[in-house]
Structures are given as C-alpha cells and as structure tokens.
Homo-oligomer: A and B are copies of this chain.
Amino acid sequence: MPRTGRRAGDSGARAAILQAARHSFGTVGFRATTIRGVAREAAVDPALVHHYYGTKTALFAAALELPADPAVVVPQLLAGGVDGLGERLVTTFLRLWDAAPGHGPVLALLRSAVSDDAAAHALRETLVAAVLQPLTTATGAGDAEWRASLLASQMSGLLFARFVLRLEPLASASPEQVAAAVGPTVDRYLTGQVR
C-alpha cells in the first residue's frame, strides 16, 4: 500500500520510482542505493517498488534502460561453465544491445558517462558491480576487481566501436562473428594470465 495515497498501478508512481532510482544510482551509486531509499524519495511504499521491479538489479536495469536484468543473465551465462564463457558473454551482450531500438539506450549510457561525472560513477558502480564483478568472482580465478576492470575495457570499447564509431567491418558483423574474435580476450580476462 503506498503511503501517499497513490493507487497501486498509478503510472505516476512508476515514473516517480524510476526518477528516484536514476537519481540515487547517479549520485550514491549501485551499492549504496536501497529499495527503501528509492521508495522514500519517490514517496511510495517499499513494497510497491518490489512489486513493480522486484530486485535492485532489476530496478537498475529499468532505470538505465538496460535491455535485460543482469541478475537473470549472469547466472544463465555461468550455468554453461567456464568453457566458452567469453564467446557466450559477447554473443549475449551484442544480441541484447543490437535489439535495443535505435541503440538509443546504449548511446545515452555512453553519452551521459562521458559528459557527466555522476553518470560515470553510476555506470562504474552498477554495470561493473552488477555484471562484471559477479562474473569475475564466480570463476574463482582471483584478482576479481582487476579482471572486472579489464573486462570493462573490452566490453565498453566494443559498444563504442560498434555503435558510436560504427566501425566496419565490426559494426555489421554478426554477434557470433564478433564473439569468435573477442571471446578469447574475455576468457583470458576472466580466467587467464593477466599479471
């Protein structure tokens, strides 16, 4: 029950939650953002945030218009084991981003990060904390933070070269072709020699 008397299902409540979430992720980052804090800022009951968005990572995905919830995708990737993980990660990643209409959210994400320190901070605290660190921690190869930052360098550059620079032949290559080339890089950053 929303405390403010807003009815559940009110689209104004959804908008207020997303706005509060963007503000929180953008200022204090992913780790320090709480469902309770977002609910308070949006003047709704925390249960309503849970009802609409489920978990914090799902809320993050919605707030940043990520094409999928990292908390769903990451375990799916890991379920296949370490063998070929890099290729599966790149394929999944590109299929999701390719499907985003006009690549708008991808460009918005990169644009806000390069023009705004708070957005860069949010992206660092979120994508890395929600997606890359769980991967580098789960593989158990050690050096999880170092590996996550190396992984971030390859994955963000892939977005940049494919969607911003639209560099050929990379921009028109299928996700599978790119994954065959970039997958071994990701595998090495996840589990190989990186010191």
Contact = CB atoms under 8 A, between A and B. Distances in A.
Contacts of A161: 149, 152-153, 156-157
A145 interface: yes
**Oligomeric state, in copies:** 2
Contacts of A166: 120, 124
A114 B156 CA distance: 13
**A contact residues, range:** 35 or more
Contacts of A145: 168-169
A120 B161 CA distance: 10
B115 A111 contact: yes
A62 interface: no
9 contacts: A107-B114, A113-B165, A149-B169, A149-B171, A152-B165, A153-B157, A160-B160, A181-B194, A181-B195
Interface of A: 107, 110-111, 113-115, 120, 123-124, 128, 145-146, 149-150, 152-158, 160-162, 164-171, 177, 180-182, 184-185, 188-189, 193-195
